[in-house]
Each structure stands twice: as structure tokens, then as C-alpha cells.
Amino acid sequence: MFGACLSGRPVQMASQVSDMKYVIKFNNIPSTKVSHVSIFMLPNVQFDSNYTALVYIQIESNDLDSNLPPQFKLLGGLNINKQSAIYKINALNSTPSIKENQIDDADMDMDVENENTSGSSENISIGISIEPNATAQEQLDQLKQNMQLVRPAAVPQTNNAQMPVGVIDHNYLANLSNKIISNAYNFLSGFVDDHNNVPISRFDDWWTKFKGKVANDPKFLDNMV
């Protein structure tokens, strides 16, 4: 039902551990190579509109001598209207933060604390818990409040000029991202091995072809099915 990809790593499919819970694991990842993780629902999967898939992350260093593994931390949520998200894992940032213009959608591009800065390898687990919308929304609202508390104070304007404010159509962006994910999935699914992995070279092939189509046809994105 779900898939994930770390920057520079093959796509991994989620394993179901219970009726409403899934997990995706990436083992022995060099900590200095971890920057972003992308989570998405697989195309053509029926997802109940009354539920939200809460996404969690656990980063465990292989060099830490501890009997207690790190806790899972909430990243955000996916639902029928938002079927993908990209999170930034910042090893140099000790507290989570989000960009100023993304307060209304905390899980679009969020810095997540990575306590391992030693340059060693680590195991990354993505936990997905499907919860009723009301229950999930309470946790997402709390996440947004926490992110606002740690957000840096705004820098005062030094002149009278004001930056133009653009209007973002979130429905259009969500629809476009779903089309791109579906296009990638349809291409990459033909190269899945016995372990549900896809070579990163195949992703590079898709990306090269995708960029070429966009460059050659200005209406390619609008006409994607």
C-alpha cells in the first residue's frame, strides 16, 4: 500500500505488520548520505477517506551502545487527498523545524532531528499507522503547534518594499504530485526484484526520460493521466 525512497537509495515497499500498521526499513545507511525521504501511497490502491496514514520515523545508529532504541517521531500524514510527501532529514539540526510558508502543511518539507552526527551508519525505519481522521488530526495539529514553537523568529523588514505574495493551489499541487508518483511507479514497477527493491539506476533512467518529456512538451504535465 505504501512505498518510500531515501535520496540515493532504491525504492522500498512497506511490509504490513498488523491490520492498520506498516513498516519500511532501510539498513546500514551512511549517516552523511541521508538528506531526504519520500513517502507515497502506491497507485491504484483503495484508501478509505475516513482514515489518515500517520507517518513516523526512527533513526538508530549502529554505533550507539544502548538497550533502548530511539523513539519513533511523527512526521506528518497521508490521506486520499494527499498521497505523497517529502521530508528533509537534517543531521546538523537539533530541533525540528519547517519552512515559513509551509505552516499550513507541516509535513511537506520538514527538518527532522537526526541525533547521529558521528558519520557512522544507521538503520532508518518508517512506521505508518492508519488512524481515524479525527484521531490523526489531533496529533497533526499538535505537531504543527510544536513546529511553530521552535520556528525561528521572523527577521524584520529593513525597507518598505514588500515581497509579493503568491497564491498556491494546493489541490493542483497534490494532483500533480500524484500524477508524477504514478508515472514513476508505473515505470519502476517493471524492475522490482525478489526483495521489492528497484536499482537506483532505473530511477535515474526514469528521471532522465521524464525531464526530456517535460522539456519537449510544455503541456506534458497537464496531459498526464
* pLDDT for res 6: 80
* pLDDT for res 152: 55
Per-residue pLDDT of 180-194, as tens digits, reads 888 888 888 888 888
Bridge partners of residue 54, in order along the sequence:
77, 129
Spell out the long-range contacts of 164-171 with Cβ–Cβ below 8 A and sequence spacing 24 or more: 170/105, 171/81
The whole-angstrom separation of Cα 170 and Cα 96 is 23
Residue with more model confidence, 3 or 65: 3
Per-residue pLDDT of 49-81, as tens digits, reads 999 999 999 888 766 555 666 788 899 999 998
pLDDT of residue 112 exceeding 60: no
pLDDT of residue 5 exceeding 50: yes
164: cell is 509579493
Confidence of residue 150 (pLDDT cuts 50, 70, 90): low
pLDDT of residue 164 exceeding 90: no
The whole-angstrom separation of Cα 70 and Cα 59 is 7
pLDDT of residue 17 exceeding 90: yes
Q: Mean pLDDT of all residues in the chain?
A: 75
* pLDDT for res 188: 84
The whole-angstrom separation of Cα 127 and Cα 94 is 21
* pLDDT for res 44: 80
**Count of other CB atoms within 10 angstroms of residue 90:** 18
What average pLDDT does range 129-150 have in this prediction?
87
Amino acid at 5: C
* pLDDT for res 162: 47
Whole-model pTM: value is 0.60
